[in-house]
Amino acid sequence: MVMPDVVLGQLKRHKVRTGLTILGIAIGILLVTTLSSFSEGISVTVNTQLTLLSGKVTVTSEGIGFAGFQASELDEELIGEFEQLDGVDRVGPLIAGNVPGVGDVFAINIADLDMFDLRPEMTEGRFFEDGEDEVVIGIAYADRTGLKVADEIEIRGKRYEIVGEMVETGTEEDRGVLTSIGPAQEMLKKEGKVTIIIIKPSDVSDVEDIAREINENYEDVQAVTDKDAAASAAEFTGQLSFLTFAVGSIAAIIAGLGIANVMFMSVRERRKEIGTMKALGASTREVLSQVLMEAVVITLIGEAIGLLLSFGIVAGLNEFMGGGTAKITLSLVINVTIFALSLAIISGLLPAREASRLQPAVVLRYE
């Protein structure tokens, strides 16, 4: 049976060496968690927005992926044409873009809010009115810029009144300026253009048919259903998650080599002690378990420190960027813990096997 006090006692033998190993693990876990938090944040935002597109058709410029939708540019005239298609109930445009020196701008007409089941809530003020030179700012945008309700914001030489501040939504709108379609076209220099056109069918079962008709009869545009968008988003976030986790894992794997080195050194320094344990009746499994447990304890301490640091760094990064771009979710913490434990077991397995194979008679004869 592995005694916790025995394991901790062994780790205290070489405090500096153990401390440096724990530090290496903490840095590795910090990198894994912090980098992965960005893909987690994007995934949460994407999934939130996909619920708004359920049962609808989304039209963008041809070749524009889900992640790069802001690069889409459609003629506003298409709105009227899509309204005439069979099975179409409502059509609503969206605009999204970035104004240098200002930040992200998002636009939707008030008349289309119900299409997305949106009920904007304000921390202060009111929502903008269609066509007026008015804007609403996200809560993170307000924190970053220091702007508040009743202030004015100058965009491309024109002044707009801030009439409201929205409550936190957890989406990218928290970090931007919201207004109606007309003013947004001026801000982004997209007169007569919109970014996305959303189509709500009279019957949800017609979604696929409407998307197919648009793709077959209109050039330079692509229409996708919520299922298509979800598949595209899942592919993008999956690739991003893999990339960020892989980059951070390099540092963690290096730390794993440190664990293996520490445990090999520990085993060799304790050959006589381990031989005595086996001579007194300790089984091979007990010796193996003790060395593995030491590796696991070192790793878990390092992981705990790394996670605590990552929470602070992610909070600081979100504050610096003016929003909740990065998120440390429960699933991310679980995945990092599984990764850390796997690293500990793999790193400690060879030293543990070496310790468990020591022959008491041979060790005690030559030590």
Pairing of strands 193-194, 74-75: antiparallel
Please state, in angstroms and rounded to a whole number, the distance separating the CA atoms of residues 6 and 28.
Answer: 27
pLDDT digit string, tens, across residues 218-245: 988 988 887 766 666 666 667 767 777 6
Its pTM surpasses 0.75: no
Nearest residue to 304 (alpha-carbon basis) of 340, 329, 328, 332: 340
- pLDDT (0 to 100) of residue 181: 93
Q: So what's the pLDDT on residue 159?
A: 93
- CB atoms closer than 10 angstroms to residue 326: 23
Whether 129 maps to a domain, the answer reads yes
Mean pLDDT, the chain, whole residue set = 79
Q: Per the structure, how many domains does the chain have?
A: 2
Specify whether 167 is located in the same domain as 275: no
Same domain flag for 264 and 127: no
pLDDT band at 272 (very low <50, low <70, confident <90, very high): low
b/e for 244-275, b at 16 or more Cβ within 10 A? Answer: bbeebbebbeebbebbbebbbebbeebbeebb
Element housing 160 (H / E): strand 158-166
Do 82 and 203 lie in a common domain?
Answer: yes
Residue 181 corresponds to which tokens in the numbers above? 């379609």
**Domain enclosing residue 212, as ranges:** 63-219
Of residues 263 and 51, more confidently modeled: 263
Helix 284-321 with 330-356: angle, nearest 10 deg: 150
Asked if residue 25 belongs to a domain, the reply is yes
pLDDT tens digits, residue range 29-60?
888 888 888 777 777 666 666 556 667 888 88
Tell whether 276 and 360 lie within a shared domain. Answer: yes
**Which tens digits make up the pLDDT trace of 323-356?**
557 788 888 899 888 888 888 888 777 766 665 6
- Say if 159 falls within a structural domain: yes
Is 226 inside any structural domain? no
> How many whole angstroms separate alpha carbon 97 and alpha carbon 313?
28
Backbone phi and psi for residue 66, each to the nearest 5 degrees, phi listed first: -60, -40
Q: Which residues, in sequence order, are bridge partners of residue 122?
A: 166
Query: Burial letters for 125-158: b for 16+ Cβ neighbours within 10 Å, e otherwise?
Result: bebbeeeebbbbbbbbbbbbeebebeeebebeee
Domain annotation covers residue 302? yes
Strand, coil or helix: what is 181?
helix
Answer yes or no: do 276 and 349 share one domain: yes
Q: Where are the alpha helices (DSSP H) in the chain?
A: 4-13, 15-52, 77-83, 139-145, 181-187, 207-217, 226-269, 271-279, 284-321, 330-356, 360-366
26 close to 302: Cβ distance less than 8 angstroms: yes
Q: What is the per-residue pLDDT for 147?
A: 93
What pLDDT, on the 0 to 100 scale, is given for residue 116?
72
Nearest residue to 117 via CA among 49, 45, 16: 49
Q: Are residues 19 and 97 in the same domain?
A: no
Other C-beta atoms closer than 10 Å to the C-beta of 62 total 12
Q: Are residues 84 and 22 in the same domain?
A: no
Domain boundary among 219, 253, 282: 219
Which of 175, 195, 219 is the C-terminal boundary of a domain?
A: 219
Calculate mean pLDDT across residues 165-176: 83
Q: 203 in a domain, yes or no?
A: yes
- Confidence band of 2 (pLDDT split at 50, 70, 90): very low
Boundary residue ending a domain (219, 249, 264): 219
Q: Are residues 87 and 41 in the same domain?
A: no
Q: Is 262 within a domain?
A: yes
pLDDT in tens, 60-110: 898 776 556 778 899 999 999 999 999 999 898 999 888 888 888 999 988
Residue 24, domain member (yes or no)? yes
Rounded to whole angstroms, how far apart are CA atoms 225 and 49?
Answer: 13
Using one digit for the tens of pLDDT, what is the confidence trace for 288-325? 777 778 778 888 888 899 999 999 998 888 777 655 57
| 82 and 214, same domain (yes or no) | yes
29 shares its domain with 121: no
How many residues are listed for the chain in this entry? 367
A 10 A CB-CB count for 41 gives 22
- According to the model, what pLDDT value does residue 299 have? 84
Asked whether the predicted pLDDT for residue 363 surpasses 50, the reply is: no
Residues 181 and 246 in one domain: no
Q: What is the dihedral of CA 296, 298, 300, 302, to 10 degrees?
A: -150
User: Are both 210 and 85 inside the same structural domain?
Assistant: yes
**Where is 123: in which H helix or E strand?**
strand 122-125
